A and B are shown apart, each in its own frame.
Chain A
Amino acid sequence: MGGRTIGVLALGIALFGLSGLAAGPWSAEWTAGISLDPDSTLSGGVESTFLLGYATGTVLWTSDSEFRLGVGYLWQEFGVQGPVGAFEVQGDVLFGPSTTDFLYAQAIVRLRLAGVDVGFFYAVLGDAVLGGPADGAVVRLAGQVGGFEIASVTELGARIEDEEFHGVDIVHGATGCHRHYATDPVVPGEGFTGEKLSVGGLGFARMGNVRAIVYLVADGLECLAAKFEDVDLGISWIETDLEFAYDVEAKNVAVTPSVAVHEGLLCVEPHLGVYFGAREWEIAGFGLGGVALVSSWGGATIRSLTVLDPGRFVITTQEYGSVIESIEDAVENGDLYYPDYWELLSIEFVWGGCGGQDRILVDTYFNRVPSGVSGWARSSVETSVELSAATDLSVRVAVTTGGVERVESGITLRW
């Protein structure tokens, strides 16, 4: 342990020494964090992330390195992004240095040609990653014809992130650390695998914007969906969206309603669930699965999330946005959630500190099974302070009914 600690400290000193690179086109950011459990042993460990950037004209080249004590050199990512002539290019290559493995690479080229947005996506997944090896490409064409917004996504062994698909995460199994990318190669060395066609801007009376989506795969029709955005109920402070999706393979219909009420400083978001009847295509009714109340003024935001149907809805963890989500969506999206907490009270203050913007966030969770005071189960306090434009400090403390769960602190330096 002593040798490793010295190694991490040496690394930190070396990174400080790189501040000389701040001149000219170079930029750098170093973040370090330490986690302690109540008996003062390193549980989450020591982690360090170093981001180095080099700008050539409008193109930015980056190197992102992440280290973790006990695991080693976790990720090494190289990236490039920016306009090159008429093209907008982006490239990412990810390596696992501790196992000397190539993990993932993607290249994205975008171009606007005669009013049409043309996008080419290509990605490769290494065979060191479970799910690989795989490679594939996607061609995306989007533009306006009359008042309609038409987008065509042709999948050649890969899928790209959009409203319906959440891209790909490369996860380090032992730590749960992950990197997110837009292009997901799913089939090694194959041709056409799918076509998604969406037509938006279809306006009907009081229906706002209607978007129709057809998704075809190599075997035939996969899914049909219709989205009704900004449905006009005649009440200015209520926003309503409605989505119908028919999955051909599973032969089921999903109806996803969404409502938001804005009145003054208060925003109410009821999360509705659809209950199906015994017969196919029969909808027995709608139920209220949860309610989110959000109120903001000045730099303060108070949120109350209440799960009313804990069998179908949950509260996601802080890392996944602390939102009410159906269990089905959380599982599909890979979002981590709390299965036992039915209520979250959250208070956040943001203010301009001496160097920049400071923040404090207090989250308090209540359990379905009565425990502690009024079912209190867990609280966390997180504060971050910008000491200057180049330095941030952060501290996070989590307390449960069993005592102090974890203490985390971190520092970010920018050049």
Chain B
Amino acid sequence: MCMHAIYVQGTSEERHSLSSFVRTRRACLLAGGALGGAIVLGLAACGGFFAPSTELPTLYVGDVQASGTYGYVLVAVVDMPAGGLAAIQFGEVGSAAIALSDIDPASVEIEGVNGFVVLAEAFGPVGGAVIAASGADGVVGGDILRFTFTVTGDNPMFVVTKASVRLASDEGEFVTAWTLRTSADAVYIAR
């Protein structure tokens, strides 16, 4: 508002000078902003903000996604070694690796994703066991199984016991060093 008043009252030379000043000042602001942005991005890059890091092979069990009485859980792997994950075993009959709560065990259906095929499954009141393998090459990263089921309560839970899970690679060896992550420690997922 103040600049506007000076602009109207000034001489032609003053107006030109003021206009140049405003343009110069705007250019300085833009240049300063760009420089500031570059410094922030540069510091972020130097600080390893964008740098990839190395992690253990990971089996990820997603949170229960429920819509009404329909629910599902996605199981995915990340950074699987030796040609990728070729087979997975969740416990065995009588020693279930998957515990269910507020989920109807009889309604559980399992679909293989990314070439995975379900070879055997058994779900009962105490939980479930599954064996699945890839019909093609191993999966290095991505979804492998999708469990769908009927939700029967307010707090559906799908919990996997890591000690009862075995992973085999495409090169025919067991993957021994791996981590199990859930939505509690993997807040964001890319898919």
Contacts and interface: CB of A to CB of B under 8 A. Distances in A.
A406 B49 CA distance: 41
Contact of B53 (A102, A124, A127, A249): A127
Given A189-B52, A331-B146, A171 B188 contact: yes
Interface stretch (B12-20, B62-70, B125-133): B62-70
Nearest to A179: B188
Given A130-B60, A131-B141, A171 B191 contact: yes
A188 interface: yes
Contacts of B109: 339
A405 B136 CA distance: 42
The winner among B60, B188, B190 for most chain A CB atoms within 10 A is: B188
Contacts of A339: 70, 109, 148
A169 B115 CA distance: 21
A173 B190 contact: no
Contact of B188 (A103, A188, A336): A103
Interface string A362-381: 00000000000000001000
A186 interface: yes
Nearest to B142: A131
A383 interface: no
Q: Chain B binding site: helix, strand, loop or mixed by DSSP? A: loop
A340 B70 contact: yes
Interface residues of A, number: 46
Contact of A336 (B51, B62, B67): B67
B121 interface: no
B67 A317 contact: yes
A257 interface: no
B70 A173 contact: no
Nearest to B58: A130
Interface in A170-185: 170-174, 176, 184
Nearest to B190: A131
Contacts of B141: 131, 186
A168 interface: yes
A272 interface: no
Given A124-B50, A173-B183, A331-B113, A131 B189 contact: yes
B85 to A, nearest CB: 14
B145 to A, nearest CB: 10
Interface of B: 49-53, 55, 58, 60, 62-63, 65, 67-70, 72, 76, 78, 109, 111, 113, 115, 135-137, 141, 146, 148, 181, 183, 186-191
Interface of A: 96, 99, 101-104, 124-135, 168-174, 176, 184, 186, 188-189, 249-251, 317, 327, 331-332, 334, 336, 338-340, 378, 398, 400, 405
15 contacts: A96-B188, A101-B188, A102-B50, A129-B189, A130-B181, A130-B188, A131-B76, A131-B78, A132-B190, A134-B52, A168-B191, A169-B190, A172-B187, A173-B188, A250-B135
Given A168-B190, A249-B136, A250-B135, 11 more contacts: A130-B190, A132-B52, A134-B190, A169-B190, A171-B188, A171-B189, A173-B186, A173-B189, A189-B52, A334-B191, A405-B68
